[in-house]
Structure 1
Amino acid sequence: MLEENHLETLLFTILRNKDIQTVFQPILSLETGKVFGYEALSRGPINTPLQNPEKLFTYAMESGQLWELESLCRTKALESAHRLHIEAKLFLNVNPNIMSDAKFRQGFTKDYLSRFNIDAETIVFEITEKEAIGNLAHFKQTVTHYKEQLYQIAIDDVGSGYSGLNILTDIHPHFMKLDMQLIRNIDRDQTKQSLVKSLCEFAAHSHIHIIAEGIETDKELGKLIELGVRFGQGYYIQKPNSNLLPIKEEVIALIVNENKHKQNHISNRNTDKLVKKMSTALQTIDGTTLVDEVKLMMNQDHNIPGFCIVQQNQVIGVITRNQLHVKISGLYGYSLLSKKVITEIMDTDFLQVDVSTPIHTVAKLAMMRDSNHLYDFITVTEDGRYYGIVTVKELLEKTMEIEVNFAKHMNPLTELPGNVLIEQQLQHCVETHGGYGVLYLDLDNFKPYNDVYGFEKGDQVLMHLAELLKEIVSPNDFIGHIGGDDFIIVATSAQSVLYCKQIIERFDASIEQFYKKQDVENGWIASKNRHGKDELFPLLTISIAGIMNNHFQSTYDLTRKATEVKKQCKQLVGSNYIFLES
């Protein structure tokens, strides 16, 4: 009881004296390493039982003082942001059930925000799930209201439960923040990797940006970049602080280097040509351009598919030729709209992709659009800034060209890239001088297996191995089929050893299915050796020769050294891997 009275007195003292400290945690672009925004977090008085924010808000809710506390925290956050001259996005945590309250709305009028020199478009309401949403329909209307006022919405803790996922389809937020439990040890958890990769694809289709919370290690950060997560925050990047501290150089360097490695892998795969290479930088217009001016520009050049409306070099909407005609058609359409600014009729729900997006991914996203937008051009940006456009006709023609060229160089059995594409990958390794791992895979005792079980069964083994490699190896890395029972993987040096362990473990655990029961029990098969004499051969195993970060003058030198390492590896009993490192 004494403790209860003490906490009650402390809470009312905090509210009366406005004794709340705001700290800011940066949210970084995982593509450039630049600060994208700051999440404002509140702390109680230092060295008190309510310093911890979770305990502070929990007790405030139990005491019926949650509104007063949240209001104080938001005011303190805006004051601190103004004092520190924050120019990035400002993420404010909001209980969903108070957003429609009149007092809350009064705190986010244009007049109120002007006191702090803050614009509505810089504020992101981060919706927390501390309480269930009481009236979903009313809440959706409230969210729509704030979106129309140019505020943005983020959903917190996605992946922590059903409600966090369900709400995404209900309110269509601008951001979704992945729960830190989903991020923890993601570099070692393939299930988490698959889930985050799926969420990235969903986010790209839904025009939602993903923010990973709780990043605590360099390996977690590297894996998130590889999976395509665009933004991140966490203790590894920077702990919350009352001042705006510079981001550590090693963090920025890691982000830049990981993106370079990712870009190198993507850009050197024929199936992953980048949309940047086919973008056209057409003329843009600003939001003050009148509708009749836009119509005149389109009439002067019938090849123009439309315009991107750009504000401070960022695309805020598009208007296609067809959309303009639909808007101004009818008896009074033109007379009503001709003198209005283009922002009043522009489309804000458009497909926008980064320059580093592979063409086949863009094609997939374009074809997933509804029928009304299926043939609209695609907007291309670089670091969030306008870069150009791609028409659907250009996109389909390029996709077909890539597919035809790529099919010429595929192994017909495993449908993996063959020697021409393999040579391109190895040449890239020679030119980069580091940061890579080349794995040569060779099945042991494959010839006697073919002799005993036949080539059809041998082909099944090769297809099985190919499928294992596709499941294990990241899409950002390269798998090739040299021919016969020889395969190759080109990956980052950090992933190479992990791949070896996973391949051997899964191959050894699954190979028995391709043998008769008696041969498995024996542990060998009888066949003739290369000299025509009878010999007992062990069951199939796999040898992997790894070349990591070595400097070679040519691909010939690289493959020659790999052959030497492979010979050493095949002399060992069972499945093994050996690495030659610089």
Structure 2
Amino acid sequence: MAKCLRDEEGGCRRCDGGLDFDFTMAFQPIVDVAAGAPFAYEALVRGVNGEGAGAILSQVQPCSLYRFDQACRIRALEIADRLGCPCPVSINFLPNAVYEPSACIEATLAVARELGWPESRIMFEVMETEEVRDRAHLQNIVESYNAMGFWTAIDDFGAGYANLELLADLQPDVVKIDRHLVCAIHESPRRQIILETLVTLAARLNIRLVAEGVETGEEAAWLLSAGITLQQGYWFAYPAIETLPIVDEARIEAARRRSA
């Protein structure tokens, strides 16, 4: 994230007011391959001219982190509602932007109520680039969100800050497996052992698994045969700006046939 430009009084010349950049959301389905339908749509921040998430995040100042996090939640819900999203919307959140869960969720709840969007159709994912400085704080956020009726998820599990240690303290509803563990899973015995073990662990902890970055039919079929029915990646649909991409049903069926 960009460095703040502070003036002589200690304020930030760029972010004491509103955000000085605009953004929108792209959506990508999380597919329930067994059911043959989207389980949820993840909202992914994008620039209004198609810029990637990195280009937007690089403009966020530390002192505008909270405003940006709030704006993302609201923008995701508003666009998903306008598009007629038929299932939950998954929103990345920044743990370090949440100073107190019940207070920081008020704006999101207000918009959800205005739209008639129930809490059970919102899933919050711990953003993968965010280092959690206070594990107890994150635990409080997850527990509070679960108590409010939201779904919670750990993103990019197995990479960066999202590792097994988190599961010792947190009880998320969903764990999203990082692409690195999914890549060419059908021809990697070591990755297969890891994911098979994770399937058993998740079942015992009452956690649902999502395989991220599924890019081939062989990957999708192996994952399905291992019991990982929720999958996300280019094999099924690319993210689309302010659009709910149509899931490729033929590819879902191909994965089912290969896994049988």
Is contact 1:96–1:139 with CA below 8 Å preserved after alignment? yes
When residues 136 and 239 of structure 1 are mapped into structure 2, their CA distance, relative to the original with a 3 A threshold, is same
Q: How many residues align?
A: 249
- TM-score using structure 2 length: 0.86
Aligned ranges for residues 439-478 of structure 1 at < 5 Å? none
Specify the alignment match of 2:30 in structure 1: 27
Partners of 2:81 and 2:13 lie apart in 1 by 31
Query: Secondary structure of 1:60's match?
Result: coil
Q: 1:252 to 1:103 in 2, by over 3 A?
A: same
SS at structure 2 position matched to 1:35: strand
Residue type at the aligned position of 2:227: G
| Alignment match, 1:42 | 45
Which runs of 4 or more aligned residues in structure 1 lie more than 6 Å from their structure 2 counterparts after TM superposition?
8-14
Superposition pairs for residues 257-272 of structure 1, below 5 Å?
Answer: 257-259=257-259, 261=260
- Aligned partners of 2:27 and 2:243 also within 8 Å: yes
Change beyond 3 A, Cα 1:14–1:146? closer
Per the alignment, residue 150 of structure 1 pairs with 149
- Which whole-Å CA distance do the structure 1 matches of 2:17 and 2:178 have between them? 33
Aligned equivalents of 2:125 and 2:44: distance in 1? Answer: 11
Alignment correspondent of 2:9: none
In 1: Cα distance, 2:245 partner to 2:59 partner: 31
CA contact (8 A) 1:57 1:69 kept: no
Distance 1:256 1:219 in 2: 10
Q: Residue 173 of structure 1 corresponds to which residue in structure 2?
A: 172
| Amino acid paired to 1:69 | F
Q: 1:70 to 1:220 in 2, by over 3 A?
A: same
**Aligned runs of 1:548-559 on 2, under 5 Å?**
none
Distance in 1 of aligned mates of 2:42 and 2:72? 13
Instruction: Please give the alpha-carbon distance, in whole angstroms, between the structure 1 residues aligned to 2:239 and 2:17.
Output: 25
Which residue type is aligned with residue 205 of structure 2? S
Superposed displacement of residue 238, structure 1 = 0.3
Match of 2:247 in 1: 247
Partner-residue secondary structure (3-state), 2:25: strand
Which stretches in structure 2 are left out of the alignment for 5+ residues? Answer: 6-11
Partner of 1:426: none
Q: Deviations over 1:404-443 (max 9, x none)?
A: xxxxxxxxxxxxxxxxxxxxxxxxxxxxxxxxxxxxxxxx
Q: CA deviation at 1:95?
A: 1.0
Q: 1:90 aligns to what?
A: 89
In 1, Cα distance between equivalents of 2:164 and 2:54: 23
User: Matched residues in 2 for 1:220 and 1:153: separation?
Assistant: 25
- Go from structure 1 to structure 2 and tell me whether the alpha carbon gap of 1:245 and 1:55 turns closer, same or farther (over 3 Å shift): closer
Give the corresponding residue for 1:219.
218
**Structure number with larger C-alpha Rg:** 1
Question: Counterparts in 2 of 1:315-326, with a 5 A limit?
Answer: none
Kept in 1: contact 2:42–2:90 (CA 8 A): yes
> For the residues of structure 1 that align with 2:34 and 2:16, how far apart are their CA atoms?
45
Q: Matched residue of 1:207: which SS? A: coil
User: Could you report, residue by residue, the CA deviation over 1:342-364 in whole angstroms, capped at 9, with x for unpaired residues?
Assistant: xxxxxxxxxxxxxxxxxxxxxxx
2:124 aligned partner, one-letter code: F
| Contact kept? 2:65, 2:97, Cα under 8 Å | no
Checking the alignment, whether the CA contact within 8 Å between 1:15 and 1:72 is kept in structure 2 is: no
CA–CA distance in 1 between the matches of 2:18 and 2:99? 26
* Cα deviation code 1:183-202 (max 9, x no counterpart): 11112211111101110110
Which has the bigger relative contact order, CA under 8 A and spacing at least 6?
2
Alignment of 1:170-569 (within 5 A): 170-241=169-240, 242-259=242-259, 261=260
Q: What residue number does 1:52 align with?
A: 52
* Deviation digits for residues 384-421 of structure 1 (CA, Å, limit 9, x no counterpart): xxxxxxxxxxxxxxxxxxxxxxxxxxxxxxxxxxxxxx
Structure 2 residue matching 1:59: 3-state secondary structure: coil
Q: Deviations over 1:326-355 (max 9, x none)?
A: xxxxxxxxxxxxxxxxxxxxxxxxxxxxxx
Cα distance in 2 for partners of 1:153, 1:100 equals 17
CA distance in 1: counterparts of 2:59 and 2:171, whole angstroms? 32
State the distance in 2 between where 1:162 and 1:44 align: 26
Using the alignment, how far apart are the partners of 2:154 and 2:116 within structure 1? 26
Q: Secondary structure in 2 aligned to 1:214?
A: coil
Residue 253 of structure 1, CA deviation: 1.5
- Corresponding residue number in structure 1 for 2:106: 106
Kindly state the Cα deviation for residue 129 of structure 1 after the two structures are TM-superposed: 3.8
**Residue in 2 that maps onto 1:361:** none
The 5 Å alignment of 1:68-79 reads: 68-79=67-78
Contact preservation (8 Å) 1:159, 1:178: yes
In the alignment, the residues of structure 1 paired with residue 161 and residue 105 of structure 2 have an alpha-carbon distance, to the nearest angstrom, of 29
1:140-188 per-residue CA deviation (whole Å, 9 max, x = no partner) reads: 2232122111111100111114642211221111000000111111122
CA drift of 1:78 comes to 0.8
Residues 11 and 97 (structure 1), Cα distance of their counterparts in 2 relative to 1, 3 Å cut: closer
Residues 1:140 and 1:203: Cα distance change in structure 2 (over 3 Å): same
Equivalent residue, structure 1, for 2:8: none
Tell me how far apart the structure 2 counterparts of residues 100 and 15 of structure 1 sit (CA, whole Å): 19
Contact residue 90 and residue 123 of structure 1 kept, 8 A: yes
How many angstroms apart in 1 are the aligned matches of 2:44 and 2:246?
18
Q: Cα 1:83–1:198, aligned 2, differ >3 Å: closer, same or farther? A: same
Residue of structure 2 in register with 1:468 after alignment: none
- The aligned amino acid for 1:37 is A
Distance 2:53 2:180 in 1: 19
Equivalent position of 1:128 in the other structure: 127
Give the conservation status (yes or no) of the 8 Å contact 1:157–1:180. Answer: yes
Gaps of 5+ in 1: 262-582
Residues 114 and 250 of structure 1: CA distance in aligned 2, closer, same or farther (over 3 Å): same
Are the structure 2 counterparts of residues 24 and 163 from structure 1 closer, same or farther at C-alpha, using a change threshold of 3 Å? closer
Distance 1:103 1:57, change over 3 A: farther
